Chain A
Amino acid sequence: MTSDRSLALRRSIPGTALFDGELAERGFQLNAMCFSFNEAANRKAFLADEDAYCAKFALTPEQRKAVADRDVPAMLRAGGNVYYLAKLAGIFGLNVQDLGALQTGRPLQEFKDYLVSQRAGIDPAIAGLHVSREIA
């Protein structure tokens, strides 16, 4: 059995909601639309007529608004999963660093600097390249 402590963690890690059955059920239509963006023709159809494309996947009003607003935190609250949402972001030329900046409310460069700053936390014992057996 998953322990009560672990189940509680699904919703209690700060700034994080683990994507479980509740979110997967809530987000099915939005994620299904994003999954369709694996195909270039579908990406094109979305760009050509966003309303019609979203209607085809029967997005909930909450999901439709989140997509219209390009509001990533709202997409997550509406059950979007980041692996699928990244395909939607790709349509707009956004990568996961752009998404990180959008979700944390930091300018992109500040978010990138935050990522680089975490290098300072590495124990020197594991930092960088260690070749234990040289092969010619």
Chain B
Amino acid sequence: MMAEIVGAYFTSHVPAIGGAIARGDQHNEYWKPFFDGFPSVRRWLAEVKPDVAVVFSNDHGLNFFLDAMPTFAVGAAKSYANEDEGWGLPVYKSFEGHPALSWHVIEELVGSEFDITTCQKMLVDHAVSIPFELAWPDAAEWPVKIVPIAINTVQFPVPSPKRCLALGRAVGRALRSWQGNERIVVIGTGGLSHQLEGERAGFMNPDYDKFCLDHLAADPDALTQHSVEEVAQLAGTQGIEILNWIAARGALGDVPLAEVTRNYHIPISNTAACTLVLEPA
């Protein structure tokens, strides 16, 4: 009996998506090109029927503040709540955790010399909730348990793409050695290129996004040629959320992958949006 990694789902997570859902704007001219990416994601999830999601994302000042800012934080809670983030989004449904799998991942990570933070209490923000709202819009409760992994993208020094890929690979090793029969989906959220602050606010870079999309599946190491400062230069200051995608890609392991569906659209709010599903070929 072994757990199976069914594939990975990646998507942008900006709060404005939550606003669009709350207003029922999914079909208007502005939002439709983005939301059109999700029926194929939902059909894929219905087919592969995951039980657990390992979610790589970044906190935006709901759970973590600058008093104590972990570079990598792994949730090991029985449940994870969302709360008021201060900018008008609805409070989203809570998530059921999978503490036993969390601790197994934590053991593998620390055993592999990743000096992570472990969290038996952890709030999750829109970076987790919005991808779930997009994937399972009609769910009364979430159909999967989660193991959330937060990567610091708020305060430099931020971990490098290389380190995030290695972290993801270590998480993948843990998942493949888990003695359970769960079907596991890996989720990477955020990005792609965007910048919220400064005189360069509004910056996007479809060429860098294309580079990432061209290499993520077959050659993720190509994304580690840049330092994270260089990624900020190329992708914008919030575009460094690609780190979550890189880590999630690492968790799939070094196996041939096939793309199931992909949608790339500019803009949603200030962001170049992308949604992607990869599965073992």
Chain A interface (Cβ < 8 Å from any Cβ of B): 2-3, 5-7, 9-10, 13-21, 24, 28, 31-32, 34-35, 37-40, 43, 73, 76, 81-87, 89-91, 95-97, 99-100, 103-104, 111, 114-116, 118-119, 121-123, 125-136
Chain B interface (Cβ < 8 Å from any Cβ of A): 14-16, 19, 33, 36-37, 40, 43-44, 46-47, 60-62, 65-67, 83-88, 154-157, 195-204, 206-207, 209-210, 213, 227-230, 232-233, 237-238, 258-267, 269-270, 272
For B157, the chain A residues whose CB sits under 8 A away are 2, 20-21
Alpha-carbon distance A84/B263, docked complex (angstroms): 30
Inter-chain contact B202/A114, CB cutoff 8 Å:
yes
For A121, the chain B residues whose CB sits under 8 A away are 204, 206-207, 266
CB-nearest residue of chain B relative to A112?
Answer: B267
For A129, the chain B residues whose CB sits under 8 A away are 33, 36-37, 40, 261-263
For A38, the chain B residues whose CB sits under 8 A away are 61-62, 83-86
Inter-chain contact B202/A104, CB cutoff 8 Å:
yes
In-complex Cβ contact of B84 among A28, A40, A81, A132 (8 A): A40
Alpha-carbon distance A128/B36, docked complex (angstroms): 9
For A34, the chain B residues whose CB sits under 8 A away are 61
Q: Other than the known A19-B154, A24-B155, A96-B196, what 15 A-B pairs have Cβ atoms closer than 8 Å?
A: A13-B200, A13-B233, A16-B197, A35-B65, A38-B61, A83-B60, A87-B86, A95-B87, A96-B269, A99-B196, A121-B207, A131-B261, A133-B44, A135-B43, A135-B260
For A5, the chain B residues whose CB sits under 8 A away are 227
CB-nearest residue of chain A relative to B158?
Answer: A18
* A and B contact pairs by CB, cutoff 8 A, 14 listed: A7-B229, A16-B197, A76-B197, A83-B60, A89-B87, A90-B88, A95-B19, A99-B196, A116-B266, A118-B206, A121-B266, A122-B264, A129-B36, A130-B263
For B261, the chain A residues whose CB sits under 8 A away are 129-133
For B200, the chain A residues whose CB sits under 8 A away are 13-16
Alpha-carbon distance A111/B199, docked complex (angstroms): 12
Alpha-carbon distance A16/B198, docked complex (angstroms): 5
For B16, the chain A residues whose CB sits under 8 A away are 95-96
Alpha-carbon distance A122/B213, docked complex (angstroms): 13
Alpha-carbon distance A16/B230, docked complex (angstroms): 13
Inter-chain contact A111/B37, CB cutoff 8 Å:
no
CB-nearest residue of chain A relative to B209?
Answer: A126
Inter-chain contact A127/B155, CB cutoff 8 Å:
no
Min CB–CB distance B267 → chain A (angstroms): 4
Alpha-carbon distance A128/B157, docked complex (angstroms): 34
For A17, the chain B residues whose CB sits under 8 A away are 198
Min CB–CB distance A89 → chain B (angstroms): 8
- Knowing A97-B269, A122-B206, the reply to whether A83 touches B61 (Cβ < 8 A) is yes
- Knowing A126-B213, A126-B264, the reply to whether A100 touches B156 (Cβ < 8 A) is no
Inter-chain contact A9/B195, CB cutoff 8 Å:
no
Inter-chain contact A13/B232, CB cutoff 8 Å:
yes
CB-nearest residue of chain B relative to A135?
Answer: B43
Min CB–CB distance B126 → chain A (angstroms): 11
